[in-house]
Chain A
Amino acid sequence: MAGKQRGKGYTGRILLVDLTTRKVETRTLPDELYRKYLMGSGLGARLLMDLGDPAVDPFHPRNPLVIVPGFFTGTTIPGGTRTSFVSRSPLTGIWGEATVGGTWGAEFRCTGHDGLVILGAASSPVYLWINDDHIEVRPAERLWGKDTYEACDLLLEETDPKAKVAAIGQAGENLVRIAAVMVEGRHARAAGRTGMGAVMGAKKLKAIVVRGTRGVPVYNPAGLMGWALRKTNEVPAMFGMFTVYGTSGSIETHEERGGLPIKNFQEGHWREGAARISGKTIHERYAVKSSSCSGCPIHCWQHVTIEDGNGVRENVGHNPEYETLGSFGAMLLNDDLPSVIRANELCNRYGLDTISAGNSIAFAIEAFERGLISERDTGGVKLAWGDGEAILAMLEQVAFRKHLGNLLADGSLAAARKIGGDAEKLTVTVKGLEFPMHDPRAFWSMGINYATGARGACHLEGLPFIVETGVPMPEFGYNAKLNPRITDGKALLAARMHNLMAIYNGLGMCKFYARAFSPTPLTEALNTLTGWKWTWEDLMKAGDRIFTLKRLYSTRLGVRREDDQLPHRILTQEKRGKEMPNIPPEAFRKMMDEYYQIRGWTPDGLPTAETLSALDLSEQKEVVFA
């Protein structure tokens, strides 16, 4: 009798759903694609390149939305939880990508599919119901106009209470270019960045509901279970107070080290404010229970309750993460924690990226203060730093495209260009994507990371600063002399971390695990899952290839060195006097020259033919050099 066939770590099957024709198709992918691009946004990039035309408008039906969980998502590997949503971004017009944790991706993989490509657009609202091999496009008129919490509740009633829901709120429906895809209702995990929620809205796709009953096919199940159990036991002890407070517990440390942006990147200190909205305060006064993404032993997030207008405490879902505390707290000088929690809830319900939304409101407040806009533009709302009511009013304006919100709904850079004058100097973006809450003046490696990130200013695409704070990466051989505010070594660090995080995305690993998993353990897990015999260098090469492919997507759309630029404020304004100056433009140029050289790109930011050949991307030459 023949032995049972071993799993490969993937099924090789992807779903194609054309919403225009309602045609559903399953395709089998060659093994080579998994070896070249892994899964997650790596495979997603390749599918987007193959199936989409980058030249079409992001809201055009021919712009696909590609959804691919990572290799580890749905397995027992701790931290393997994430799923990538990729498309041409309606916010930036270039490569768009957002990843999300929770349990949706694991459930999707249990349907027996490795990915989902949404093509076309429906003529009226629909949702997609995927129940193992049963795939159905269902009407969603009664859901249209509902927020993500309400929509999730209704969809679970209509399908299966054990199903998982990824949905858009009113922001995505209204084609707000900073709209997120929200996962699992009140659990409120967000595929936040670059406007993927608006791509769903343009397709009239309210939600994707999944229910799967199969497992991920594993090459060495006993070996993987042993590896995963060992790491699950080891990992929590490496995370310290993160296991109690999650990301919100770090806001005071970020403030102390200078990484927290304050008042639209204008100020240097906000110690008491940070303490008032800190993870500890949330934990003591508002948290009711902790929770986690699928199979993660860290339990880094919490559900919170706040009082409604009648003094009754209501569960408003997920606590604000560090990024949200920064963007609706420090960036707006708002130390009223209930209003930050409420802003987070509104973003989750409307389906808005909290980073871009907070940044855009910070820009608006400063523009208001400087007289570039007035109450005539804001529908009578008087914008002021720290005014929680005004902040919540602006969020509603953005989600429903009212008054000034209609401009901010296109992102802060587009809004500034319409306002004119010096407004653009008040924005803090790269390629139109608003900065996360990691000020590069504190860690210059973040400057080069943001400038060259495939989707714009993104902290998760690189996280180089974590190495500067001591996260061990023994494969890279760093020593402690990596001073945060000098140029030496920063381009190499940024390039390596870009490659490593491209791997994290391909594997579906939560980035917080970078504290525990350098390339070597990741390779061990991948080999046990797939039966491959890779070295960590093989894995890093895959990361290089994935990162470069994403770059190629954008170079096809004209992205060059002049677009890899840091904003005016970061290059010209100091943060804490001599202690934390601006990044001098000549220092930035030096790091950029080095980065391109390390990558094998021309001085104008294009990968050379030799580089593409070395990365087995030669088939892309025609596209790049046409």
Chain B
Amino acid sequence: MNRKTVVLKIPRSFLRYYRLPSDVVEVVGPEDATILDLIRLAELPEVEFGIAAVNGEREYLSYTPKDGQFVELHPIIMGG
């Protein structure tokens, strides 16, 4: 199966809560990998994310991004 490279962007504030080197992560995965698959490959905290913006378009984490796409991960936000 072909591989693809996708850039994942997490909220910058997460760097203070999780031991992550950067808020931008380049992930290489199988062509049919969903956003959630890529989050797992990158060992990001999947439970924190509910939705993503793929090149600016809102998508669920079950969406399969294409090679080279930029995926911004949006955190689940609750009440207070």
CB of A396 closer than 8 Å to a CB of B: no
Which chain A residues lie closer than 8 Å to B60 at the CB level? 470, 479-480
Measured in the bound complex, the distance between the Cα atoms of B75 and A466 in whole Å is 10
Q: Mark A253-269, 1 if CB is under 8 A from B, else 0.
A: 11111010000000000
CB of B3 closer than 8 Å to a CB of A: no
Measured in the bound complex, the distance between the Cα atoms of B74 and A242 in whole Å is 16
Q: Mark A226-253, 1 if CB is under 8 A from B, else 0.
A: 0000000000011111100101011011
Q: Mark B41-66, 1 if CB is under 8 A from A, else 0.
A: 00001011111100000111101000
- Given known contacts A253-B11, A470-B74, A483-B58, is B79 in contact with A241 (CB within 8 Å)? no
B58 touching A247, Cβ below 8 Å: no
Measured in the bound complex, the distance between the Cα atoms of B52 and A437 in whole Å is 23
B residues contacting the other copy or chain, number (CB 8 A): 26
CB of A482 closer than 8 Å to a CB of B: yes
When C-beta atoms are compared, the residue in chain A nearest to B50 turns out to be A470
A250 touching B16, Cβ below 8 Å: no
Which chain A residues lie closer than 8 Å to B74 at the CB level? 257, 469-470
Measured in the bound complex, the distance between the Cα atoms of B63 and A515 in whole Å is 20
CB of B1 closer than 8 Å to a CB of A: no
- Given known contacts A238-B47, A239-B47, A469-B75, is B80 in contact with A321 (CB within 8 Å)? yes
Which chain A residues lie closer than 8 Å to B52 at the CB level? 480
B78 touching A466, Cβ below 8 Å: yes
Pick from A326, A459, A460, A471: contact of B76, CB below 8 A: A471
CB of A202 closer than 8 Å to a CB of B: no
Measured in the bound complex, the distance between the Cα atoms of B50 and A514 in whole Å is 13
Which chain A residues lie closer than 8 Å to B63 at the CB level? 480
B80 touching A515, Cβ below 8 Å: no
- Given known contacts A275-B16, A278-B16, A470-B74, is B79 in contact with A240 (CB within 8 Å)? no
Which chain A residues lie closer than 8 Å to B47 at the CB level? 237-240
Measured in the bound complex, the distance between the Cα atoms of B13 and A245 in whole Å is 14
Which chain B residues lie closer than 8 Å to A255 at the CB level? 13
Measured in the bound complex, the distance between the Cα atoms of B79 and A436 in whole Å is 9
A256 touching B11, Cβ below 8 Å: yes
A326 touching B80, Cβ below 8 Å: yes
Measured in the bound complex, the distance between the Cα atoms of B76 and A466 in whole Å is 7
B59 touching A256, Cβ below 8 Å: no
Which one of A239, A240, A249, A259 has the highest number of Cβ atoms from chain B below 10 Å of its Cβ? A240
Measured in the bound complex, the distance between the Cα atoms of B74 and A586 in whole Å is 29
* A and B contact pairs by CB, cutoff 8 A, 23 listed: A238-B47, A240-B45, A249-B17, A252-B13, A252-B16, A253-B13, A253-B75, A253-B77, A254-B77, A275-B13, A436-B79, A437-B80, A466-B77, A468-B51, A469-B76, A469-B77, A470-B51, A470-B60, A470-B74, A479-B60, A480-B58, A480-B59, A512-B79
A-contacting residues of B (Cβ < 8 Å)? 11-14, 16-18, 45, 47-52, 58-61, 63, 74-80
Which 7 pairs of residues, A with B, have the shortest CB-CB distance?
A: A470-B50, A322-B80, A252-B13, A470-B51, A323-B80, A240-B47, A480-B60
B-contacting residues of A (Cβ < 8 Å)? 237-242, 245, 247, 249-250, 252-257, 259, 274-275, 278, 280, 321-323, 326, 436-438, 459-460, 463, 465-466, 468-472, 479-483, 511-512, 514-515
What 12 new A-B contacts, CB under 8 Å, besides A247-B78, A253-B13?
A241-B45, A247-B79, A249-B17, A252-B16, A256-B12, A257-B75, A436-B79, A469-B50, A470-B51, A470-B60, A470-B61, A512-B78
